[in-house]
Amino acid sequence: MCGRLSQYRGIHDFVAVLSIPDALINHVGDQPLAHYNAPPTTQLALLHLEDDGLHADLQRWSWRPHWATDRAAPINARVEKVAHGPFFRAIWPHRAICPIDNWFEWTDAGDGTRQPWLIRRRDRRPVLCAAIGQFPIGTAVPRDDDGFVIITADSAGGMVDIHDRRPVVLSPELALEWLDPATPKERAEQMVLLQGEDSDVFEWYRVDKALNNARNQGAELIAKIT
């Protein structure tokens, strides 16, 4: 988890759920993002809070420290280790939210293929995924190794039947606290360890196997099949 996701709404639709009164510093644009089947390394909209307000930037979905050239850049970070392990130490203080519409997981279809499942909030509101990353702060110039990872935790309830891991999804209130640079690192760790949304907030259903090809895009990929 999670290896593919959708981010197709416009950035203002994602930001509206946070109810932040200040103006958005928008480097993403006003058009729908239109990522129905986004694989790792896609440039996705990422939200982070600075002194001058909420920033929306396009950032690569993957990151690794400069010294870890012997491995592929991960896209996720396990919540059990992220705050204290050496791999993510440099970016643990740099908190962000990756707002998405849904994510995908796969099960064995029984015929040698994989069956994709879409997972989203039952209320259809944006899914606010806790993330950390390396991204420009203030007037800093973007770097080639900028990027972010989504924090994941064990699945629970019926979601375990689809996959044993899931993103740590925060309520809008907790997402604002997570984004606030003044929130102590100890409090941030408590939030992602203990206060992610419960599995009963979500629903999941099968979608067409055309989703298995990461080159395929379009709204038809998120339609429910029976």
Beta-bridged to residue 5, according to DSSP, are 38, 103
Give me the catalytic one of 2, 173, 186, 197: 2
Closest CA to 50 of 10, 95, 14: 95
Using only C-alpha atoms, the chain has a radius of gyration, in whole angstroms, of 17
Give me the catalytic one of 98, 105, 177, 197: 105
Task: Show the tokens assigned to 181.
Answer: 């640079």
105 in active site: yes
Strand, coil or helix: 134: strand
Contact 42, 51 (CB under 8 A): no
Going from the C-alpha of 212 to that of each of 7, 105, 217, the distances in angstroms are 17, 10, 11
Would you give the end-to-end CA distance of the chain in angstroms? Answer: 24
Q: How far apart are CA 195 and CA 171, in angstroms?
A: 9
Catalytic annotation, residues:
2, 105
